[in-house]
């Protein structure tokens, strides 16, 4: 049996919404499965920022929400009144400071340069080997235990943003966390 042109168009019109809905649900399910799990945030930035500024008075430059070991962490970048840059992590579960790192404007700054044994180029290769994409920013930090690290903000090939730390002494990947939320932008 051959359908007329009008019958074929009617059949196509009735099937199209189902096909579109099925495609949208399939894509949404795939995106949800691939997305990082968002941990429950009990303490917001409205509590963490004053806590951080009490320890490191200054101006907040950027706030990032990321999961660490399944727990929410607010990473707050501060331009301190002491003339130093600080990267302070505040627990999104308790509101307490969990780590405070000094950040440097360049890899050549005293306090960072003399501790480094691995080049930025080699550290970049390490970060991109595990998290392919485009490096959007590199930060130079000294962890609370005195270890210098390169911290890379990478836009992965799938469009997700991830923060990757590479040890500037050993060249090993220390940690990597997806950025769930980013507020503000650090100056270049």
Same domain, 84 and 25: no
Our count of domains for the chain comes to 2
| 40 located within any domain | no
Same domain, 3 and 81: no
Which pLDDT score, from 0 to 100, does residue 40 have?
A: 87
Prediction pTM value: 0.77
CATH number at residue 144: 3.10.450.40
Same domain, 97 and 153: yes
Which long-range CB contacts under 8 A does 55-61 form with residues at least 24 apart?
55/88, 55/97, 55/100, 56/80, 56/82, 56/86, 56/88, 56/100, 57/81, 57/82, 58/82, 58/86, 60/184, 61/184, 61/186, 61/187
Same domain, 80 and 108: yes
Which pLDDT score, from 0 to 100, does residue 39 have?
A: 75
Which pLDDT score, from 0 to 100, does residue 18 have?
A: 40
Domain enclosing residue 25, as ranges: 1-34
Tokens of 29: 């399910």
Which pLDDT score, from 0 to 100, does residue 108 have?
A: 96
| 188 located within any domain | no
* pLDDT mean by block of 10 residues, the chain; 188 residues: 53 42 37 58 94 97 94 96 97 97 96 97 98 97 97 94 98 96 75
H/E element, 103: strand 97-104
> pLDDT tens across 25-68, in order?
343 334 444 455 677 899 999 999 999 999 999 999 999 999 99
Which pLDDT score, from 0 to 100, does residue 184 have?
A: 86
Same domain, 59 and 146: yes
Same domain, 56 and 109: yes
| 114 located within any domain | yes
């Amino acid at each position: 049996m051959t359908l007329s042109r009008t019958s074929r168009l009617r059949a196509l019109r009735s099937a199209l919404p189902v096909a579109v809905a099925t495609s949208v649900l399939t894509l949404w399910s795939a995106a949800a499965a691939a997305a990082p799990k968002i941990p429950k945030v009990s303490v917001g930035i409205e509590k963490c920022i004053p806590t951080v500024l009490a320890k490191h008075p200054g101006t907040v430059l950027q706030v990032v929400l990321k999961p660490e070991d399944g727990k929410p962490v607010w990473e707050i970048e501060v331009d301190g009144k002491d003339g130093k840059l600080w990267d302070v992590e505040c627990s999104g579960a308790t509101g307490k400071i969990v780590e405070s790192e000094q950040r440097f404007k360049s890899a050549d700054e005293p306090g960072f340069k003399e501790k480094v044994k691995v080049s930025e180029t080699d550290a970049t290769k390490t970060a991109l080997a595990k998290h392919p994409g485009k490096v959007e920013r590199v930060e130079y930090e000294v962890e609370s235990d005195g270890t210098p690290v390169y911290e890379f903000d990478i836009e992965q090939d799938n469009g997700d943003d991830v923060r990757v730390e590479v040890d500037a002494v050993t060249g090993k990947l220390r940690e990597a966390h997806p950025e769930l939320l980013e507020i503000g932008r650090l100056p270049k």
